[in-house]
Amino acid sequence: MRVKGPGYRIILAVIFLLVAYDSRLKTESAFAEGDKFSFPVMEKAFLEGQYQKAVNEAVGLIDEGSPNRAEIYYIKGVSELKLGRYEAARKSFQYIISRYASSKRIFDAYIGLGDSYYMEKDLNAAIEAYEEAVFKFPKDENAAIADFRLAICYAAMGDATRANEFSDKARKAAPLSFEAREPMRIAASR
């Protein structure tokens, strides 16, 4: 049976448009899903030393409103440190400090902030950040890291007394750690 007339063509045109529109929606949806940013991709890129990719993923996750922002900003900050973008790294760490004070990454953010200053050779600002970490979180399990960094800063400034003081403190807090052994060589070399 054959259908004739203008209604037939309109029906065919509508069916064609619906099929075309449906396939376009499926294609766009697949592209959008494949183009989304991913926390595991960001972590993997970071662990593989692909720091720019980690930063790009972090920015995408932040723009998408992903949860766990403190962790995202932390990985972004450390990646920026590795890329030599110290001011950008500081902004990431300061964001954690100002917005996520109860985060498990807060102590690490202070250390990252100090590291960004240290890498730019602003030893006074680095010392201030490390001392703030120790002052605010004296019982943190990684406090010896801050003491280690303080020993390095004071040694770089030529203050062997302060360098040895923080070296001793690091050694007492974590006698088997790298931090407990390393500062003595640094402080003694001045």
Q: Which of 10-14, 21-25, 139-143, 172-176 has the highest mean pLDDT?
A: 139-143
Q: Can you read off the two tokens belonging to residue 84?
A: 């030599």
Structure confidence by residue, pLDDT tens digits, 45-71? 999 999 999 999 999 999 999 889 999
Comparison of pLDDT for 25 and 134, the residue scoring more:
134
For 148, how many CA atoms within 13 A lie in the half-sphere containing its CB? 19
pTM across the whole model: 0.75
Alpha helices in the chain (DSSP H): 6-34, 39-47, 51-63, 69-82, 86-99, 106-119, 123-136, 143-156, 160-173, 178-188
Coil, helix or strand at residue 103 = coil
* Model pLDDT, residue 185: 53
Segment 158-182 mean pLDDT: 82
For residue 85, the one-letter residue type is R
Comparison of pLDDT for 27 and 84, the residue scoring more:
84
